[in-house]
């Protein structure tokens, strides 16, 4: 309160500056504000040190002790695993985000039934991963599974034993991942589209932009940065994904469809090769560090000024 008096007085005098800036606005916190700022930041800084930095350093230390790298690079199954991870986090994620982007354009259409459909479409996201993926596993189990029963009942064909073929099993893994996570990204893109002011579209339509032109010259440029940020985040999350490969295909056939996360886990806990597992975990760093740095860079320009 004591600070407020001279400020009000200053305004009343009619300062010659056309815009008046509050002193606390551009000079950072001062006095008791700093105390508050520190108090507010303590919980997260504590989390960051205790549960992020320490485990990461510990992991690096364990990894630097590990002798497993040579052995790992000679392991043909490891390279198959890297390829599978690429299929999921590289190909699958991009297909998912592209579809989510298109679908967000569908769900933005006005209409009561489209709103209701969006609710239904979001169900996979609200459904916990484990039950959903266990259901997927039993659905594609082959004879007696729902998929083959349905194929038989509707088309009269006999479905394959899905998890006996590498291509089918891997396809189902990627499909399951897309099924589970596409709704979330559709919602994020929908939020992005809703944030585009209508007058931009009005101005574009005065200039004659319709249909495809509207999409190519207005919607996409405005959402391009969001799209990139989402791709980076989704890739980082997909690299860490354990549940899909572990429960949908469970590595079948013959552990061919494992990803790095499940490979690491199996090496460490099923076979007790802790060093090999740690080495396999650290192998993603050359990929995840640039992705994170790029994400940080892009986030600083996410706010698009027009």
Partner 1 sequence: MSRLATSYLSGRSNYRLIEFCVEAACVVLGVWLAIWALIPVYNMALIAFSEHGAVFSGQTWPSQPSLHAFAVVWGQDFWYLERFWHQFGNSFFIGITTMILTLLIGTMTSFTIGRLKLRHGWMLSNAALMTYVIPASFLAIPFYRIMNIYGLSNNPWSVIAAMVTFASPYSIFIFQHYGKSIPMELDESARIDGATPLQIYVLIYLPLMAPALVAVGTYSLLLAWNEYLYQFLLLSSRDNMTVSVALAQFLNSDEAPWNYMMATAIIYALPPIAIYYASRRYMASGLTMGGVKG
Q: Restricting to residues 230-259, name those near partner 1 by CB under 8 A.
A: 233, 236-237, 239-243, 246-247, 250
* Binding residue for partner 1, selected from 6, 17, 19, 25, defined by CB under 8 A: 25
**DSSP summary character for residue 271:** S
Smallest distance from partner 1 to CB 22, Å: 5
**Cα separation of 162 and 142, whole Å?**
6
Q: Which among 1, 174, 187 is positioned nearest to 88, based on CA atoms?
A: 174
Q: Are 87 and 95 in contact (CB under 8 A)?
A: no
Smallest distance from partner 1 to CB 101, Å: 15
* Binding residue for partner 1, selected from 6, 16, 64, 113, defined by CB under 8 A: 113
For the CA atoms of 236, 240, 245, 250, what is the dihedral angle to 10 degrees? Answer: 170
Record the tokens describing residue 6, joined without a space. Answer: 């001279």
In the region spanning residues 50 to 69, those forming contacts with partner 1, defined by CB under 8 A, are 50-52, 54-56, 58-59, 62
- Region at 142 (left for phi over 0; alpha for psi -120 to 50; beta for the rest): left
Taking the least distance from each CB to partner 1, the nearer of 44 and 83 is 44
Smallest distance from partner 1 to CB 154, Å: 9
Smallest distance from partner 1 to CB 166, Å: 21
- How far is the CA of 202 from the CAs of 101, 119, 195, 214, in angstroms? 22, 29, 15, 10
Answer yes or no whether residue 41 interacts with partner 1 by CB under 8 A.
Answer: yes
* Binding residue for partner 1, selected from 95, 196, 204, 255, defined by CB under 8 A: 196
**Cα separation of 171 and 163, whole Å?**
10
Answer yes or no whether residue 110 interacts with partner 1 by CB under 8 A.
Answer: yes
Answer yes or no whether residue 99 interacts with partner 1 by CB under 8 A.
Answer: no
Smallest distance from partner 1 to CB 256, Å: 19
**Cα separation of 135 and 291, whole Å?**
33
**Tokens 């992991």 — which residue?**
59
* Binding residue for partner 1, selected from 10, 15, 29, 91, defined by CB under 8 A: 29
HSE, side-chain direction, 13 A CA sphere, residue 285? 10
* Binding residue for partner 1, selected from 12, 157, 194, 254, defined by CB under 8 A: 194
Q: Are 183 and 200 in contact (CB under 8 A)?
A: no
**DSSP summary character for residue 20:** -
Answer yes or no whether residue 122 interacts with partner 1 by CB under 8 A.
Answer: yes
* Binding residue for partner 1, selected from 86, 225, 255, 256, defined by CB under 8 A: 225
In the region spanning residues 133 to 192, those forming contacts with partner 1, defined by CB under 8 A, are 134-136, 138-139, 141, 143-146, 148-150, 152-153, 179, 183, 187-188, 190-192
Smallest distance from partner 1 to CB 239, Å: 5
Smallest distance from partner 1 to CB 225, Å: 7
* Binding residue for partner 1, selected from 4, 9, 12, 254, defined by CB under 8 A: 4
**Cα separation of 251 and 100, whole Å?**
27
């Amino acid at each position: 309160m004591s600070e407020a008096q001279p400020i009000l007085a200053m305004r009343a005098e009619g300062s010659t500056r056309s815009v008046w800036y509050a002193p606390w606005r551009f000079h950072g916190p001062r006095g008791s504000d700093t105390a508050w700022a520190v108090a507010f930041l303590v919980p997260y800084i504590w989390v960051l040190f205790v549960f992020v930095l320490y485990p990461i350093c510990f992991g690096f230390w364990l990894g630097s002790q590990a002798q497993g790298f040579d052995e790992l690079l000679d392991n043909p199954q490891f390279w198959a695993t890297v390829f599978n991870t690429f299929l999921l986090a590289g190909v699958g994620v991009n297909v998912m985000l592209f579809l989510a982007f298109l679908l967000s354009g569908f769900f933005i259409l006005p209409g009561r039934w489209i709103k209701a459909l969006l609710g239904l479409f979001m169900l996979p996201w609200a459904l916990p991963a484990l039950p959903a993926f266990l259901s997927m596993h039993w659905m594609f189990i082959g004879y007696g599974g729902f998929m083959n029963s349905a194929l038989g009942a509707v088309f009269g064909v006999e479905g394959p034993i899905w998890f006996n073929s590498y291509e089918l099993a891997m396809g189902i893994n990627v499909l399951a991942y897309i099924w589970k996570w596409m709704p979330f990204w559709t919602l994020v893109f929908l939020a992005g589209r809703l944030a585009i002011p209508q007058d931009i579209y009005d101005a574009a339509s005065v200039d004659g932009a319709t249909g495809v032109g509207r999409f190519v010259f207005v919607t996409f440029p405005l959402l391009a940065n969001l799209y990139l940020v989402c791709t980076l985040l989704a890739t980082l999350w997909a690299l860490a994904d354990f549940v899909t490969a572990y429960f949908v295909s469970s590595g079948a056939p013959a552990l061919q469809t494992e990803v790095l996360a499940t490979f690491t886990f199996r090496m460490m806990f099923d076979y007790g090769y802790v060093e090999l597992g740690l080495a396999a975990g650290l192998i993603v760093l050359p990929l995840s560090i640039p992705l994170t740095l790029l994400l940080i860079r892009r986030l600083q320009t996410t706010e698009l000024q027009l």
